[in-house]
Structure 1
Amino acid sequence: MQELKDRILAEGEVIGTHILKVDTFLNHQIDPAFILRMGKELADRFAGAGITRVLTVEASGIAVASAVALSLNVPVVFAKKKQASTQSDVYTSQIYSFTRQESVNITVSKKFLPADDVVLIVDDFLAHGEALKGLVDIVRQSGAGLAGAGIVIEKLFQRGGAALRAEGMRIETLAAIERMEPGKIVFA
């Protein structure tokens, strides 16, 4: 998506060689109109896949996942990083957060992910693939079908997407980055 690449180049900040800060429009401050356009683009890429539910993990993926779900006219569910005291019957998967440098258990209430669903996973970033693997695990636990994953920004050099694609998973990415360093971003 050229508009996304342009925004990344204009507003993104590369920290080191692995962190891309896009907090002006995606994961701190949100540009709602832009989020809706990205959501429509991802929804269009999965048109005809029979998607009945969108799944993401809190918190940064929620805005884009909501935009995708709105375009598809289906509900969106987000995995919680801390199980609420009101949640008792849940699917759980452990993921490692490279951003936070810690392992967390993500949970989804079973009532929000029935076995007859066809799920599209949506997230803001794909790097090592830990969050995506955890969400795939939860979908598999539920017995639901998996249409694939829609990702806003994929850092190809961190290989998470390659590993999941090798397992046969369909992943659609709006902006794929081959490499980056301060002052330079190279898109695929």
Structure 2
Amino acid sequence: MELLKKRIIEEGIVLSDKVLKLDGLLNHQVDPQLTMEMGREFAARFRESGVTRVVTVESSGIAVAFATAYELGVPLVFARRKKTLLADPDAYCERVPSFTKGIVTDIMLSREYMKSEDRVLFIDDIIANGDAAKGLIKIIARSGAELVGLGVVIEKAFQSGAQTIREQGIRIESLVKIGSLTDGKIKFVE
């Protein structure tokens, strides 16, 4: 997606050779038109997969996952990172480290919203080490649902997350792949 690349170059802030701040696009502010365009792109790539649910991990993936679910005409389910008083005590749960937050959290998904007959499309904002993605993939597997693929807005190709998941035979469609953030410069993989 050339528009997405352009916006990343214009608005992304390279904080280190591993961290790209995208608060104005994905993580703090959302551009509705760009987000809907990303959702249309993911829907087009996975339309023939028979998706019955789109799933993501709160919170930065929700907007793009919503746009994708809207385009596919299916429900969106998101795994929560924090337990609430109303949380399902029997929810699927997986402990995962967060690369950008520098902490370990539990992600939870209610059994009510993930059934064995579902064909699930997982949408995520950024994949680096892939720990949250791996955790949600385990939850999907435990539910008995079929994971048809993972749509990622930005893949940090210089980190191992996406490659590790591909080695499991999981289809990953990335809208943009970043090959390097060295010397404060964003270099894309074509």
Does the alignment reach a TM-score above 0.5? yes
Letter in 2 for 1:15: L
User: Aligned pair 1:106/2:107, yes or no?
Assistant: yes
- Distance, in Å, in 2 between the alignment partners of 1:9 and 1:107 is 34
- Distance, in Å, in 1 between the alignment partners of 2:180 and 2:101 is 22
Measured against aligned partners, the alpha-carbon deviations of 1:61-100 in whole angstroms (never above 9, x if no partner) come to 0000000000100000110011222222210111101112
Asked whether the 8 Å contact 2:16–2:184 carries over to 1, the reply is: no
1:78 alignment partner in structure 2: 78
1:94 alignment partner in structure 2: 95
SS at the partner of 1:70?
Answer: helix
1:141 alignment partner in structure 2: 142
Q: How does 1:45-64 map to 2 (within 5 A)?
A: 45-64=45-64
- Distance, in Å, in 2 between the alignment partners of 1:50 and 1:70 is 14
Measured against aligned partners, the alpha-carbon deviations of 1:108-144 in whole angstroms (never above 9, x if no partner) come to 0100001100000001000000011011011001000
- Distance, in Å, in 2 between the alignment partners of 1:106 and 1:121 is 14
2:39 alignment partner in structure 1: 39
User: Aligned pair 1:66/2:66, yes or no?
Assistant: yes
Q: Structure 1 length as normaliser, TM-score?
A: 0.97
1:155 alignment partner in structure 2: 156
1:122 alignment partner in structure 2: 123
Asked whether the 8 Å contact 2:126–2:152 carries over to 1, the reply is: yes
- Distance, in Å, in 2 between the alignment partners of 1:23 and 1:88 is 33
How far off its partner does 1:28 sit? 0.6
1:178 alignment partner in structure 2: 179
- Distance, in Å, in 1 between the alignment partners of 2:20 and 2:109 is 28
Q: Structure 2 unaligned segments of length 5 or more: list them.
A: none
Identity of aligned residues (%): 47
Measured against aligned partners, the alpha-carbon deviations of 1:146-186 in whole angstroms (never above 9, x if no partner) come to 00100000101111000110110100000000111354111
Letter in 1 for 2:100: T
Q: Structure 1 unaligned segments of length 5 or more: list them.
A: none
Displaced runs of 4 or more, over 6 A: none
Letter in 1 for 2:168: E
- Distance, in Å, in 2 between the alignment partners of 1:30 and 1:100 is 20
How far off its partner does 1:103 sit? 1.0
Question: Which is strand-richer, 1 or 2?
Answer: 1
Q: How does 1:13-24 map to 2 (within 5 A)?
A: 13-24=13-24
Root-mean-square deviation (CA, aligned residues, Å) is: 0.9
Asked whether the 8 Å contact 1:15–1:182 carries over to 2, the reply is: no
Q: How many residues are treated as equivalent by the alignment?
A: 188
SS at the partner of 1:41?
Answer: helix
Q: Structure 2 length as normaliser, TM-score?
A: 0.96
User: Aligned pair 1:30/2:47, yes or no?
Assistant: no
- Distance, in Å, in 1 between the alignment partners of 2:165 and 2:119 is 18
